[in-house]
Chains A and B, each alone.
Chain A
Amino acid sequence: MENLQMLFMGFSVVLTLENVLVTMLGAVLGLIVGAMPGIGSLAGVALLLPLTYKFNPTTAIIMLGSLYYANMYGGSFSAILLNIPGDSPAVMTALDGYPMATKRNRPGQALFTANMSSFIGGLIGMLILTFMGPLLADLGLKFGPAEMTALLLVAMTSIGWLVGESPTKGVVLTMVGILLASMGMDTLTGSPRYDFGNMYLLGGIPFTPFVIGAVGFSQVLKLMEERNKKVEAHLNQKLTIRGSLLTLHDFRRLVPPAIRSGFMGTFVGVLPGAGATTGAFLGYAAQKAFKSEEPLGSGAIEGIASCEAANNAAAAGSFAPLLALGIPGSGTGAVLLGGLMMWGLNPGPLLFSTNPDFAWGLIASLFLANLLTLIIALGIIPFLVKILTVPVKMLIPIITVVCVVGGYSTSNSMYGVIIMFLSGLFGYILDRNGYGVAPMLLAFVLAPLLESNMRKAFIISHGSMGIFFEKPIAAFLIIVLFAIILTPVIKFVLRKAGVLKK
């Protein structure tokens, strides 16, 4: 119960007028940054860092923490309403969020689902962080290269759940995603590979413009066909908070996936090098293993809930190694860490004992930010939903401009726009031919992690495979992996032997 006491102490730090206002400001800015394609939490936090020099450290980190956190909410807005993920964790939200908002004509409910699940997932993550933060951070340390390799192999099999009706096509794109991700600098040797002599490709293909193009801009090209359809889809709901409320039934569908993803996301957030994006992907993929009332991808509440809860939980979980050990789990974490150092704090294993008011103040502020962001987000749903009443004809140039600006803003260069444009064209052609791009995006995120961990493991073991079987956690995960792979294979063989079909 000591932790609870410390948390209350944290609240006493946070609940001053200044800190509450700052949390609110962070939440609003985070929502906006999150909703803006191309500007992720990394850029948002980094851009605001200089602003915070004027505050005292506790106030400053509270603001940045809530900004980072609220960013996870904001990303879902543009994903649901425009099918453009505002930041990379929101890629999965778009899969069900956009159909739910348009085909099922329930935009308010889709946003409500996303926000509510974010809240639940985040809350679970924070509770775990409060009571088991240091413990969790130590568990994360146990995951070295060998364990991460095994875990990522298990995670990669979840792509199988994403491939949809045409498995061959899905796996083809998965492989393409992996190859695209391998372009650029090979981190282990520091030498370029597959750069084809192009200076820009030395840095590889940037993920954000790639996603904006493959998901967002290809959507514009598709929308051209619906351009002349009358807007028969008059919103059959009132544009008020009440009109966006979920029914009790909806709510029952939302809670179980949100809770599952909450736990899983927290765990993913703690792992070294994984992050909110990986969390969201896995949350969604795992949902495929459970029952959903409507098929995933067609606008199912379960789909939105599973990934939104997971990415917020992962964001909360990533604070565990950051605070307990001074290890950033993501680029954004690294910037926060840089901030801590500039404010004269020494992030590291001693932070909890040397600056308890600061550490617990930050945790308490996350709780506050979670609540405030939920209230603000729910409050603006009615205004956001109006975007859908804009005719498609008008939306096309608007989304096009947003894609261009978003592609540019990622690295402030036309290279981002070109990547956005090309991946948009290819995304469209692929989509037209029944190739869904989701597995490719998942592979693009996971494959580099897998490759670098695998190669690190082999360096440690001096080229021996033994390392994956000698370490208990790795060995267990490898067994799980074989179980997952072999089950359908055996089933398939049995079916082939029994009934010959197709």
Chain B
Amino acid sequence: MQTKKITSKMVIPVVTAVIAVLFIYLGITKYGFWHELRGPLPGFFPTIIGFALLALSFLAFLGGRKEEDTKYPIENWYPALGVIGIMLATLVIGMLPSLAIFVILWLKVFEKYNWKTTFVGLVIIMAIVIGAFVMWLGVPFPKGLIYNLIAY
């Protein structure tokens, strides 16, 4: 055990076990388990499932020790960083400009497409988003801090 590296296959069951314990604890102490006449209370179902999850997490942990570790190539996380960027930028400049900037940066800077291809990609995406979601379905995308300050 000491020599073995901690792998994500072992971490996942630990996390699910913690979730299970949390749900069991709250289920029993806060939400109630069983009432003689009313039957199960709000905490009943989650508590039972929590115990099952706890037991299975243990099994999964034992199984996970035998399996090989998984690799997470660093670039696989780039889209996630992109989404974080979009979420933060949305607060300031609004969602539509953030999405446009994301697409441009991704295609031009990261993928090193030429301007023409970048532009075509941008137009297609924004056509879908603006044409369908904004104009037809009327989704009110957030306009961001700056717009709100200027508008009001």
A–B contact at 8 Å CB threshold (below): yes
1/0 per position for B81-120, CB-CB distance to A under 8 A?
A: 0111011001000010001001100110001010001000
Task: List, in ascending order, chain A residues with CB within 8 A of B33's CB.
Answer: none
Query: Nearest Cβ in chain A — how far from B81, in angstroms?
Result: 11
Chain A-chain B contacts (Cβ-Cβ < 8 Å), number = 180
Q: In the complex where A179-B50, A433-B8 touch, is A193 in contact with B76 (Cβ < 8 A)?
A: no
Considering only CB atoms, which chain B residue lies closest to A450 in the complex?
Answer: B45
Q: Is the CB of B40 within 8 A of A36?
A: no
Q: Is the CB of B106 within 8 A of A397?
A: yes
Q: Is the CB of B102 within 8 A of A222?
A: no
Q: Is the CB of A221 within 8 A of B76?
A: yes
Interface residue SS majority, chain B: helix
A429 to B7, CA, bound (A): 12
Q: A residues 17-45 with Cβ under 8 Å of B?
A: 32-33, 36, 39, 43
Considering only CB atoms, which chain A residue lies closest to B82 in the complex?
Answer: A400
Q: Is the CB of A458 within 8 A of B38?
A: yes
A401 to B99, CA, bound (A): 7
Q: Does A175 contact B (CB under 8 A)?
A: yes
Task: List, in ascending order, chain B residues with CB within 8 A of A179's CB.
Answer: 19-20, 23, 46, 49-50, 53
Task: List, in ascending order, chain B residues with CB within 8 A of A432's CB.
Answer: 8, 70, 72
1/0 per position for A183-198, CB-CB distance to B under 8 A?
A: 0001011010110000
Q: Is the CB of B79 within 8 A of A418?
A: no
Q: Is the CB of A172 within 8 A of B42?
A: no
Query: Nearest Cβ in chain B — how far from A413, in angstroms?
Result: 9
Task: List, in ascending order, chain A residues with CB within 8 A of B12's CB.
Answer: 429-430, 433, 435
Q: Is the CB of B83 within 8 A of A409?
A: no
Task: List, in ascending order, chain A residues with CB within 8 A of B83's CB.
Answer: 217, 400, 403-404, 417, 421, 424
Q: Is the CB of B35 within 8 A of A463?
A: yes
Q: Is the CB of B133 within 8 A of A409?
A: yes
Task: List, in ascending order, chain B residues with CB within 8 A of A191's CB.
Answer: 42
Task: List, in ascending order, chain A residues with CB within 8 A of B125's CB.
Answer: 397-398, 401
Query: Nearest Cβ in chain B — how far from A403, in angstroms?
Result: 8
Considering only CB atoms, which chain A residue lies closest to B39 in the complex?
Answer: A458
A401 to B97, CA, bound (A): 12
Q: Is the CB of A193 within 8 A of B31?
A: yes
Considering only CB atoms, which chain B residue lies closest to A213 in the complex?
Answer: B83
A36 to B56, CA, bound (A): 37
Which of A193, A225, A397 lies in contact with B121, CB distance below 8 A?
A397
Q: Is the CB of A182 within 8 A of B79?
A: no
Q: Does A288 contact B (CB under 8 A)?
A: no
Q: Does B1 contact A (CB under 8 A)?
A: no
Q: In the complex where A179-B50, A221-B77, A429-B12 touch, is A393 in contact with B111 (Cβ < 8 A)?
A: yes
22 contacts between A and B (CB under 8 A): A166-B63, A168-B56, A168-B63, A182-B49, A188-B42, A191-B42, A193-B43, A194-B46, A221-B76, A222-B76, A224-B75, A394-B113, A397-B125, A401-B125, A404-B83, A414-B87, A433-B64, A434-B9, A454-B45, A459-B39, A461-B39, A463-B37
Chain B positions within 8 Å of A, measured between CB atoms, are 8-9, 12-13, 16, 19-20, 23, 26, 30-31, 35-40, 42-46, 49-50, 52-53, 56-57, 59-60, 63-64, 67, 70, 72-73, 75-80, 82-84, 86-87, 90, 95, 99, 102-103, 106-107, 111, 113, 117, 121, 124-125, 128-129, 132-133, 137-142
Q: A193-B31, A461-B39 are in contact. List 12 more A-B contacts (CB 8 A).
A: A47-B138, A176-B16, A194-B26, A221-B80, A227-B75, A405-B139, A421-B87, A432-B8, A447-B45, A447-B49, A459-B38, A463-B36
What are the nearest 4 A-B pairs in CB distance? A458-B39, A175-B53, A397-B106, A186-B42
